[in-house]
Chains A and B, each alone.
Chain A
Amino acid sequence: MQPELPLPTVLLIALGVLTVGLGAWALLRRDRPAAPWLRYLWTFLAVLNVAAWWSFVAAVWLLALFSFRTLREYFSLVDIRLEDRWGILGAYLSIPFMTILIQVDWYGFFIVSIPVYAFIIVPFLVVLGGREARGTVLSIGAIDFGLFLFVYCMGHLGYLLLFRVTWATLFIGGVALANAVEALVVGDRPITVRRGVGMLAIAVPITMAGAVAVQPYTEFALGHSLGIGALIPTLVLAGSYTVTAIERDLGIAPDALAPGRGQVIHGTRAYLFAAPIVFHYIRYFLEE
């Protein structure tokens, strides 16, 4: 049974209403700028719609561009040495490398592309470019970690898109819901145990109910719908908690976000941890 409207369109309409509502609210309260997570939700929705209506290939390359944007922001903020430049160039080049593997649906190579090949080549390039050995370990760590978080984790979203657009849509919707709850419960304050638990207590039932509600579209069994519904907010919380510390270290101020100053990292942090885990959950249990 296939419902009449494709899921991305349904979601787009719903989010259009939500955004207009939030926009009206922001106009009423001018002192509060629009939430950063909402800004990049539009990017992901655009990618989903391109995949749903036009071309999967175009969507994956759009996502690759977005990965580049995020990685570039990270490298702009992290303290790099002159010797690391070749390694950073290698890191940038691994984005098209990985994206081609998604495009041709070569799963076995995609899954090792960055953790094996890039993680071997980047340190090699860093050392090759170096005249000074001091700082090599931290440089390799910083570059590899950025590559992992902002390219590899994001790449899983592209692969999920390849499986089925509705699944990627469910994922994006789930993260957006969890994000909205997090923004309400935690905001820009530090994530404490109490706030974290509070966020989960509200978000998990919502995403679970949402996952069950879209069952006709996803065709997941009830148990798996509930499982994914519980998984997404938990990972969003863990991701936000971790990336908050990274943001602090990089000198990103949540009240002074700008492009190149942490806006992209802050806006996408919720997706980074959730994407690979949800992807593997679906691949292991549900993808036939």
Chain B
Amino acid sequence: MSGYWRSPRLWVHLLVLRPLLRFVFGVTVVGKENLRDLDRFVLIANHNSHLDVLLLYTIVPVPYLVRTSAVVARDYFARFPRLVKVLEYLFRPVWVDRVQQDTDPVSEIIGRLDAGENIIIFPEGTRGDPGRLQEFKTGIGRVLAARREVPVVPVHLFGPERSFPRAAPVPLPLWNHVTVGPPQLVHGERHEITATLQQAITDIERTVSAGRHRRTERPRRTRLVAVLGIDGSGKSTLSRRVAEAVSVRGRVGWVGDTLTLFEGGAPQDLQPLQTERLREWMGQQAKQAKSLAHYKIPKLTELLLRDRVVEETRRWYAPVLTVTDGSPLLNMTAWAVLYREEHFTEEFCGRAVAIMSSRGERLGARDPLLKQFPELRVLLRLGLNRLSLPDAVLFLDVPPAVALDRIASRGERQQVHETEEKLTKLADAYRLLCRVLVEQYGVPTLRLDGRRPLEDVVAETIAFVAAAEGDG
């Protein structure tokens, strides 16, 4: 054993190559314990760079270092005879000639394994495209099918494809991550072996490269789903549950009494939006109002702010879906219908929606619509006519009497507008709106019976949202 430590090759590795790699490039090794106590092994790794083989030598345990050889392509290095000598010294490679194919590397590899050596091999054969795993060559399968008792250790290299990619003339100091998978014994015939090992490295790759910084993400249209319903219909609960359930597929924003971002079925921390704070405060003011006159202005402001919050959520957090409790555009239209029901027909309703969401509708100074809906003038003057039209609408239909019971059972103070007469009218207005949305805007709309158990309603809603997504 003392002769082993006298090998200069060992010290070149330990004192020159390893420190150089660590100091210039930086190396993190995860799972080094997977190489411990193995008598012999075959290391396989993805291949993207000349650094790969150096990195793999840094993880080989010291007692095995001299007894380890790498499989290297001779046809590539044949152009640099001096480099071949250096490689010959450092790695005692098994040369593979991909052009002449005069030797049989597989039998040589098997011979070295039988002599008690370890082998480092890149089953892809070439360096390939940066960061993309290529189809494995079958050589690895042939070797292992012949020596099934030798454990294979899959290793994933992350970083060399950036620090020294194929197309680059010089390496750059950039960090490298080496992830060592658990050793495994192979089963089956060659092709199965090759496929299993490729899967093993792909699996590591998936966990390692998650969350990688990508400068330009695919532009994504984030969809907006609004849940309508009279107070006490349970739309807040429903929309929250839907947001929670859909968020297993990706990030979902929920705008209800508060703004919450769901990911993986759980609420996430988020940097607060100032608009949202203002809106919450406004909402409280509206809830505490004692008369309708005191209610209207805070509620209107709250609705307009809510629309801003929806827009900001979609812009800053880019969720796959935003679910809102109510929709400022539709709520305001519904209230207008409620107060002036004698004028409001489907046509008027459609035009009001078009104007408030800036959909190309023009409004003359003496338009009859302005007479019936004078608030529009104010909205237009303030430039508040860019409210967002939802991509899908759910209407949770509950008889007003039931809704009032629910409000009472919640123990909340009854808000000023919450009377049976008003709520009935409001529900009618929402029904009218839903018709308009389907007929004039092609917005998919679903009417749900709010008296059914919540689970059923949630399930139906999720199916509907998924179907609506499929359309777009």
A residues near B (Cβ < 8 Å) are 68-69, 72-73, 75-80, 82, 85, 88-89, 92, 135, 138, 142, 189-193, 245, 249-251, 253, 258-261
Contact = CB atoms under 8 A, between A and B. Distances in A.
B172 interface: yes
A76 B174 contact: yes
Interface string B162-182: 100101101011111100000
Q: Kindly name the residue among A69, A85, A142, A249 whose own CB sees the greatest number of chain B CB atoms within 10 A.
A: A85
Contact of B167 (A77, A82, A92): A82
A190 B170 contact: no
Contacts of B159: 76, 260
Contacts of B216: 135
B409 interface: no
B212 interface: yes
A69 B174 CA distance: 10
A249 B213 contact: yes
Contacts of A78: 213
Interface in B176-200: 176-177
B211 A253 contact: yes
Given A259-B26, A260-B159, A76 B272 contact: no
Interface secondary structure of B, over-half rule? loop
A63 B43 CA distance: 38
Nearest to B209: A251
B173 to A, nearest CB: 5
Nearest to A139: B215
30 contacts: A68-B173, A72-B175, A75-B172, A75-B174, A76-B159, A76-B174, A76-B175, A77-B213, A79-B212, A79-B214, A80-B162, A82-B167, A82-B168, A88-B172, A92-B172, A138-B215, A142-B215, A189-B269, A190-B269, A190-B270, A190-B271, A191-B271, A193-B272, A249-B213, A250-B213, A251-B211, A251-B213, A259-B26, A259-B28, A259-B175
A260 B269 contact: no
Interface string B390-409: 00000000000000000000
A105 B238 CA distance: 67
Contacts of A69: 26
Given A76-B26, A78-B213, A80-B162, A260 B173 contact: no
B55 to A, nearest CB: 13
A231 to B, nearest CB: 24
Given A78-B213, A249-B213, A261 B269 contact: no
Nearest to A263: B28
Nearest to A75: B174
A94 to B, nearest CB: 14
B250 to A, nearest CB: 16
Contact of A260 (B165, B172, B175): B175
Interface string B212-226: 111110000000000
A79 B212 CA distance: 8
A69 to B, nearest CB: 8
A135 B215 contact: yes
Contacts of B211: 251, 253
Most chain B beta carbons < 10 A, residue from A76, A191, A193: A76
A80 B28 CA distance: 20
A75 B177 CA distance: 14
A189 B272 CA distance: 12
Given A88-B172, A189-B269, A251-B213, 7 more contacts: A72-B173, A75-B173, A76-B159, A82-B168, A138-B215, A142-B215, A192-B272
Given A82-B168, A189-B269, A260 B213 contact: no
A245 B316 CA distance: 12
B172 to A, nearest CB: 6
Contacts of B174: 72, 75-76
A189 B271 CA distance: 10
Contacts of A142: 215
Contacts of B213: 77-79, 249-251
Contacts of A76: 26, 159, 162, 174-175
Interface string B244-281: 00000000000000000000000001111000000000
Contacts of B130: 82
B162 A260 contact: no
Interface centre among A191, A258, A259, A260 (most CB of B within 10 A): A260
A260 B177 contact: yes
B147 to A, nearest CB: 35
A260 B215 contact: no
A260 B212 CA distance: 12
Top 5 A-B residue pairs of the complex, sorted by shortest distance between their CB atoms: A260-B175, A76-B175, A251-B211, A79-B215, A76-B174
Contacts of B270: 190
A285 to B, nearest CB: 35
Contacts of B170: 85, 89
